[in-house]
Structure 1
Amino acid sequence: MARKYYHDDPKWSDVAPLPQEDYGHHPLAAIAYTEEYSEAMGYLRACMAANEHSERVLELTEHIIGLNPAHYTVWLYRAQTLSALNSDLRAEIAWLNPTALQHLKNYQIWHHRQTIIDKLGSPDGEPAFITAMLDQDSKNYHVWSYRQWLVKRFDMFDGRELKWTEGMIDDDVRNNSAWNHRWFLVFGGTVGEGEKVERDVVVRELEYAQDAIRKAPQNQSPWNYLRGVIRRSGLPLSALQHFALEFADPENRPDDDVFSSHALDLLADIYAAAGKTELAVKALDLLATRYDPIRKTYWEYRKGLLEAEGRKEETGAASAAAVETAAA
């Protein structure tokens, strides 16, 4: 691409570029900008100092964004100029689309897009574009965050959005971003933190997560989702014991008959809550030695807490017995 300069452009002959202030003749860590970029920024600083909002400023910001799409100040001044000129915001979105596809990880692009769509007051075309972005990177954090904003801004908590999310999970059951979005749709927007969750919603979400786990038992995302549904519904964790036993059973099956380390983790918590310390310790031992040894220190720590609690209870019982004996 040919370089673009402004010093010999008649359209910019009335502007004296402002150089960047580097605080002295020999700054300690001066950034080595290209000559093209430095000159373009000099003209933009002059425009900003004069509070100029014009079509040529939009052209200038487009050029600079092409050179450095991460410059937040340039995006901000472009948005201010669009507003001052009452520009066609749909045309801005049309320009923004290929720019976003070229710079998938750029946060500033998505902040700018949010500003424009918010002013337009309509999400038309956005779901399709987001799908195109996720086709390039299905776990792009900025895209998923923008999707959540879009859902909340335009109250898109509906069956169609839920169906789309199911499609994303069907494509990749390990896509934690899609699971997070489902949680947001089901519990994050329509149900307040302290509000009761309808029984049919709880049943539906439990069955959905369990079906996903059966497809990939070692996938952590639906196990986390399952725990979240139980916690959010107010049900005891033991409600999941029968399901977890499909994948591991430290009490009744051989130690090598385990299909999910996450099931063992869940069972350890269930057994501990029920006071079955020996079974809980066995589950944690299996995790530490065979099914998740990379986190051995963590499982040993969990086991240590259980054993310490057991010793504390034994000491308490012994003390109580001694008091009773002395009183007699």
Structure 2
Amino acid sequence: MPKYYHDDPAWSDIDPLPQDDGTLHPLAAIAYTEEYSEAMGYLRAVMAKNEFSERVLGLTEHIISMNPAHYTVWLYRAKTLSQINASLRDEIAWLNPTALKHLKNYQIWHHRQTIIDALDSPDGEADFIATMLEQDAKNYHVWSYRQWLVKRFGLFDDEEELRWTESMIESDVRNNSAWNHRWFLVVGGRDGQAIGEDVVAREIDYAKRAVRKAPQNQCPWNYLKGIVRHAQLPISTLKDFALEFADMRRPDDIYSSHALDLLADIYAEQESKEEAERALHLLATRFDPIRAHYWNYRKSLLEQAGTAA
């Protein structure tokens, strides 16, 4: 049922301010509902007066329920919370179901960052994120927020965070968002700092085990190559592993186009032009013909001296 303020005694002291469209007859006026237009009129009025109060929180909650993408409303709500010293835990309790109703809304996540930053504690956030990812395991906003939590609270070396990425990958080895988060934990968020040999060995082993579960899944192959390159190891380090899935002597026993792609890089690095061309030919004609132009382009690069495939 619509909610109006003009007949509410609690708002009798406020004269709503109408929206200024710049002209009496705008060419493309937005057809707001009467309820939304009135609520925004009252918000403009309290903003003009710099009012921060419990009733303003109620007003912003009402408007957000109708239009959760209105960033000005979120900003004023955050300022109101700060000005009246409202309970931030209560705000999180309100945000949780609101976020579940609007899974793709960016403003909700920016607001949540503001609140958690002020609370100076990530307590309870892991459980909430798990609930959100049950609805959409690859929700960009949720994963970005998780990275913010890691950076804000220094969780790069947190064993529980690493185990969580493993659980997400185990539930779906093709979840590129989970692989990306693991990379952020291990490498990406460390501002270029080298990782130890023990970590390199651990991550190589982890990615190899994931490849063996699904050889045609590109995520662990990319992760594996990324770790090797970050550690400044020769890409040929992975040659024997790639051959497990793509022995070009037996094309009928090739199980992964990504292994062929890797072998093309390795043979090019080793200046084994004929073998590199053979790997790329198999990709173009048999194992990934939809990208034949790309693989043929890679073959043409082999003709250029000193250019890797």
Tell whether the structures are fold-level matches, with TM greater than 0.5: yes
Q: Tell me which residue corresponds to 1:290.
A: 286
Partner amino acid, structure 1, of 2:240: H
Q: Tell me which residue corresponds to 1:74.
A: 73
Q: Tell me which residue corresponds to 1:53.
A: 52
**Pairwise CA distance, 1:285:** 1.1
Q: Tell me which residue corresponds to 1:185.
A: 185
Q: Tell me which residue corresponds to 1:321.
A: none
**Pairwise CA distance, 1:255:** 2.2
CA–CA distance in 2 between the matches of 1:66 and 1:105? 14
CA–CA distance in 2 between the matches of 1:23 and 1:299? 56
Structure 1 SS opposite 2:262: helix
Instruction: Specify the structure having the higher radius of gyration (Cα).
Output: 1
CA offset digits 1:47-97 (Å, max 9, x no partner) = 111111111110000000000111101000000000000000000000111
CA–CA distance in 1 between the matches of 2:200 and 2:69? 42
CA–CA distance in 2 between the matches of 1:276 and 1:188? 32
Question: What TM-score do the two structures reach when normalised by structure 2?
Answer: 0.96
CA–CA distance in 2 between the matches of 1:276 and 1:39? 73
4+ long deviations beyond 4 Å? none
Alignment of 1:170 onto 2:196: no
Structure 2 matches for 1:138-287, cutoff 5 A?
A: 138-157=137-156, 158-189=158-189, 191-193=190-192, 195-250=193-248, 253-287=249-283
Point out the more displaced range, 31-40 or 209-218. Answer: 31-40
Partner amino acid, structure 2, of 1:199: E
Q: Tell me which residue corresponds to 2:64.
A: 65
How many percent identity over aligned positions? 72
**Pairwise CA distance, 1:279:** 1.0
CA RMSD of aligned residues (A): 1.3
Q: How many residues matched?
A: 306
CA–CA distance in 2 between the matches of 1:230 and 1:178? 19
CA–CA distance in 1 between the matches of 2:224 and 2:256? 14
**Pairwise CA distance, 1:168:** 0.5
Unaligned stretches of 5+ residues in structure 2: none
**Pairwise CA distance, 1:43:** 0.7
Partner amino acid, structure 2, of 1:175: N
Unaligned stretches of 5+ residues in structure 1: 313-328
Question: What TM-score do the two structures reach when normalised by structure 1?
Answer: 0.91
Partner amino acid, structure 2, of 1:186: V
Structure 2 matches for 1:79-158, cutoff 5 A?
A: 79-157=78-156, 158=158
**Pairwise CA distance, 1:25:** 2.0
